[in-house]
Amino acid sequence: MALEVSHKLATDNIYAKVISVPSQEIFEQQAEAYKNDILNETNFAITIEAGSTDSWHKFIKNKGINFGINDFGKSAPYKEIYNYFGLTVNNIVKKTKNLVENQI
């Protein structure tokens, strides 16, 4: 999903670098310079998480948007759940474009 979002943003000349962080605990153990290089390479950051986004706020702060599922108790096939929570490529692209365009 993140790669597809990145490709769609590129068609509108919006640079998006996809970084996978499979373990936030290991990422936090890295040198500060490395983490700063990753987190501060661009003016904005978005996260895409197939679950709660609570743990991402410490990394993104006020630089962007966290996309995920921040509610408990919904049950349906994953595509329906993703759609319900706006965890779709089109929604992420639209909101990311709005973020970038409103800050320029």
Domains: count for the chain = 1
Give how far the C-alpha of residue 91 lies from the chain's centroid of Cα atoms, to the nearest Å.
Answer: 12
Predicted confidence (pLDDT) per residue in 35-77, tens digit: 999 888 888 999 999 999 999 998 888 889 999 998 887 788 8
Read off the CATH number of the domain in which 14 is found. 3.40.50.920
pTM: 0.87
pLDDT recorded at residue 70:
87
User: How far is 84 from 40, CA to CA, in rounded Å?
Assistant: 31
pLDDT, residue 104, reads: 56
Q: Find the domain containing 53 and state its range.
A: 2-103
- Both tokens of 42, joined, read 């661009």
Q: What confidence score (pLDDT) does residue 18 get? A: 92
Q: What angle do CA 15, 58, 100 make, to 5 degrees?
A: 25
Given pLDDT bands bounded at 50, 70 and 90, which one contains residue 23? very high
pLDDT at 16 over 60: yes
Residue pLDDT, tens place only, 77-88: 889 999 999 999
